[in-house]
Structure 1
């Protein structure tokens, strides 16, 4: 397609300049600039750098190839607001009190740009799509008055530059931000993009042929779903071109020198098994870091990383201690090729979505309470509102989900898909072996052969919930015999030896 030829030409222009890590006049080491490029509703593996045949993303692919890309980066939640709160605070959405989607970030939660400005003298900014941390934009006049009366919208005080708009405006906002930057100051800029969030309206030139798509096992192969997926992947292809324009603007303004470029999705695709769900496609997002003066090109890691880890890592890159409440862990040593102790678990939470009111016949698209813990191989999910039936967030009215419902009604869905999407009530506990079942369709919870694994994951989740002062009841912990330890009667069954 012609558009990709144009994009490749822009790539050559962008990457032709070298990155300098020292001041050319004094030789003094400078603090790195930091640019966070955040896509919206973007599941892994949907960049072509990850081998996905469904998309063509040459700009992002080249940046990833010149830095380090990660296959297992998990956001703190499968939803925009709480996941962004985690990225900015280095804390879980639960700990940061951001599990209600329409909440503004509490003023006493200290963010990454604030620490960079206070401790590193950074010039800081946010631009692009709504950043989602000043409360629901469409909550109505009464709610807006509460925000105003109690001064709850705080981001105007947290950054030096705040300007939101559509994707086509981002390049201009980046240019304006850099023009306002005081001479000699390092900068932090968070640029958000709407793509591939609904509405899916990318031009036909970006749209792949639905017949050529390769579908994972968690999506049934139905014509209507293929059409919707083609719309979604077109948005990702358009995003790549948009980011090419932003990078060209950064280069023109001198904003690519000594700069850490981070690309990340905020949560997964608004499709079944994705956004709003605790399965991997809901929170496993594309993620890479480009920093030529420090990161060796061609880095490729399957290390488990949490959204909580981003802020501490970028602070460490600037030589700044993390906030005293941050629970994330810096992975800067991993970026530098130094010794790094990988985390054993990542944690994901699910809460209400949007401003959907409670109704008698509601689905979990609008309201759900759940927690998950994932290790290298296994995932444990704890559903605290199992009586609410499943429905995909933001795409329940689309042709794809309707086709899945019709296939289920006609008894044409595979057993795993039927169990995943149409079991009511849903199981309170789910356990998946991700090596054998990467699409998380075969629930192993309660199986004797994985009792030890389930016991350990339940305990890890309970510990996280306690430390984060979670308001949900803890999951039932299992004894050595695989039975709930906290439900046994006094003088009950014997413990099995190890």
Structure 2
């Protein structure tokens, strides 16, 4: 039996779990204050609870998703890069679907996953339909799935994986009118203070918002409608989230706020109070323990994540006072570790990359190249410290600007007003790395031995 799972006979009395997860969204939703129309997801947030300070373990797809499904950081479960590039989750790891299957749940995947490159059944899914990962094409697939389970005796867990709004934002399979709602000349860039006001950027933002408003949001609304039509909504936990931040420079592929912030909305009728907004720090390493707890299954005690289900239920909950994030490999070696408290962000760069990292799935577009040119900045410092109270955009580094392999005499001194915070967070990050056996402490992490 899977550690932490109750015996299967109690399963029929437990709620179902519907997890809707999309690509590269960050918190770019109306309910999070973004200038984009998302009435369906906003309604979900009004019906349930919204986590205002939700973060991912890594600003990239596979490592973040593997953390969600295992409760372990990427360097613990071994997924330190993309699954299709050799960093797949091993079969020995206990995942959320495996744990739920052991507790008597039917487990299903509709659409997309990226924890393994193929055979998602290895993750614990009994039923898989990966014929499409496009949000609107999945509407009929999801409708059929719920209709077929309207009278099922056992509860189910279904993971609905959506490709959008991954780049390219403008897609050939979508009709031209999809992109009519937002005018690049009129679009506001207030949500993107880290990007220059340039024509390519404006086109990107308009296309991104169009895909969110005209594709992602109505699809989520349709999934909820199908669940209600099957008369399953009242006995189901419905969760919407994303893997990491937006596919923009200084976001995806970095441990800055726009790279690691994630939308997380949870609805459970009669349990989670509608309209609640929780400001506590949470990380998607906590996702599996939290979901198990909400379903009435004892969460595992041998994972790095911890349940924040008591917070969602309105119970007393101490919560986290810090969250950690990391980056190791994407389409190149880019080792970073970071810790964030309510007030500070500390980032440690272990590489010698000459500029802010822009993943190749962000840079190749015409506008991406244009934005990329804006980031030909000097080599990144070894350490970065930001006071989030006065500098939420993380623009003023309060640590030394010393570069890797540069002598201390050539660098500025840290801001004396924040020396205590710098020393404390530097020690806490290293303690976390040691406690979790981070291989980066032993030197550069090699690429996996794969073809």
TM-score range with shorter-chain normalisation?
0.7 to 0.9
Tell me which residue corresponds to 1:433: 387
Tell me which residue corresponds to 1:381: 347
Match of 1:214 among 170, 177, 189: 189
Looking at structure 1, the residues matched to 424 and 124 of structure 2 have their Cα atoms a distance apart, in angstroms, of: 40
- The residue correspondences of 1:297-312 to structure 2 (distance < 5 A) are 297-312=274-289
1:111 aligns with 2:95: yes
1:184 aligns with 2:153: yes
Tell me which residue corresponds to 2:433: 465
1:449 aligns with 2:409: no
Q: Which moved more, 1:294-303 or 1:389-398?
A: 389-398
Larger Rg: 1
Q: Give the match's secondary structure for 2:271.
A: coil
Q: Give the match's secondary structure for 2:94.
A: coil
Q: Give the match's secondary structure for 1:348.
A: strand
Looking at structure 2, the residues matched to 257 and 448 of structure 1 have their Cα atoms a distance apart, in angstroms, of: 55
Extract unaligned runs of 5+ from structure 1. Answer: 1-27, 138-152, 357-365, 409-420, 476-498
Looking at structure 1, the residues matched to 78 and 371 of structure 2 have their Cα atoms a distance apart, in angstroms, of: 35
Tell me which residue corresponds to 1:413: none
Q: Give the match's secondary structure for 1:351.
A: strand
Tell me which residue corresponds to 2:377: 423
Q: Give the match's secondary structure for 2:384.
A: strand
Q: Give the match's secondary structure for 1:214.
A: coil
Q: Do 1:368 and 1:388's aligned partners in 2 also have CA atoms closer than 8 Å? A: no
Q: Do 2:310 and 2:316's aligned partners in 1 also have CA atoms closer than 8 Å? A: yes
Looking at structure 2, the residues matched to 157 and 405 of structure 1 have their Cα atoms a distance apart, in angstroms, of: 36
Q: Do 2:187 and 2:206's aligned partners in 1 also have CA atoms closer than 8 Å? A: no
Looking at structure 2, the residues matched to 118 and 110 of structure 1 have their Cα atoms a distance apart, in angstroms, of: 11
- Once the two structures are TM-superposed, the CA of residue 380 in structure 1 deviates from its matched residue by 0.5
Q: Do 1:126 and 1:161's aligned partners in 2 also have CA atoms closer than 8 Å? A: yes
Q: What is the Cα-based RMSD across aligned positions, in Å?
A: 2.1
Looking at structure 1, the residues matched to 166 and 344 of structure 2 have their Cα atoms a distance apart, in angstroms, of: 29
- Once the two structures are TM-superposed, the CA of residue 96 in structure 1 deviates from its matched residue by 0.8
> Cα–Cα, structure 1 residues 318 and 390, in superposed 2: closer, same or farther, change >3 Å?
same
1:133 aligns with 2:109: no
Match of 2:333 among 362, 367, 373: 367
Looking at structure 1, the residues matched to 74 and 141 of structure 2 have their Cα atoms a distance apart, in angstroms, of: 29
Looking at structure 1, the residues matched to 205 and 395 of structure 2 have their Cα atoms a distance apart, in angstroms, of: 20
> Cα–Cα, structure 1 residues 275 and 73, in superposed 2: closer, same or farther, change >3 Å?
same
- Once the two structures are TM-superposed, the CA of residue 248 in structure 1 deviates from its matched residue by 2.2
Looking at structure 1, the residues matched to 76 and 123 of structure 2 have their Cα atoms a distance apart, in angstroms, of: 22
- The residue correspondences of 1:164-175 to structure 2 (distance < 5 A) are 164=130, 165-167=132-134, 168-175=136-143
Tell me which residue corresponds to 1:161: 127
Tell me which residue corresponds to 1:76: 57
Q: Do 2:12 and 2:153's aligned partners in 1 also have CA atoms closer than 8 Å? A: no
The superposition leaves residues 441-480 of structure 1 with CA deviations (integer Å, 9 ceiling, x where unpaired) of 11111222111111111122112211221011289xxxxx
Looking at structure 1, the residues matched to 68 and 110 of structure 2 have their Cα atoms a distance apart, in angstroms, of: 16
- Once the two structures are TM-superposed, the CA of residue 127 in structure 1 deviates from its matched residue by 1.2
Q: Do 2:91 and 2:122's aligned partners in 1 also have CA atoms closer than 8 Å? A: no
Tell me which residue corresponds to 2:177: 204
Q: Do 1:48 and 1:58's aligned partners in 2 also have CA atoms closer than 8 Å? A: yes
Q: Do 2:91 and 2:123's aligned partners in 1 also have CA atoms closer than 8 Å? A: no
- Once the two structures are TM-superposed, the CA of residue 348 in structure 1 deviates from its matched residue by 0.7
> Cα–Cα, structure 1 residues 405 and 268, in superposed 2: closer, same or farther, change >3 Å?
closer
Q: Do 1:128 and 1:173's aligned partners in 2 also have CA atoms closer than 8 Å? A: no
Looking at structure 2, the residues matched to 401 and 101 of structure 1 have their Cα atoms a distance apart, in angstroms, of: 21
The superposition leaves residues 365-388 of structure 1 with CA deviations (integer Å, 9 ceiling, x where unpaired) of x33111111000110111111334
Q: How many residues are aligned here?
A: 404
Looking at structure 1, the residues matched to 379 and 234 of structure 2 have their Cα atoms a distance apart, in angstroms, of: 54
Tell me which residue corresponds to 2:313: 336
- Once the two structures are TM-superposed, the CA of residue 100 in structure 1 deviates from its matched residue by 2.6
- Once the two structures are TM-superposed, the CA of residue 162 in structure 1 deviates from its matched residue by 1.4
- Once the two structures are TM-superposed, the CA of residue 174 in structure 1 deviates from its matched residue by 2.3
Tell me which residue corresponds to 2:34: 52
- Once the two structures are TM-superposed, the CA of residue 322 in structure 1 deviates from its matched residue by 2.3
Looking at structure 1, the residues matched to 442 and 389 of structure 2 have their Cα atoms a distance apart, in angstroms, of: 27
Extract unaligned runs of 5+ from structure 2. Answer: 1-10, 400-413, 444-451
Q: Do 1:90 and 1:308's aligned partners in 2 also have CA atoms closer than 8 Å? A: yes
**TM-score, length-scaled by structure 2:** 0.85
Looking at structure 1, the residues matched to 398 and 212 of structure 2 have their Cα atoms a distance apart, in angstroms, of: 34
**TM-score, length-scaled by structure 1:** 0.77
Q: Do 1:42 and 1:265's aligned partners in 2 also have CA atoms closer than 8 Å? A: yes
- Once the two structures are TM-superposed, the CA of residue 332 in structure 1 deviates from its matched residue by 1.0
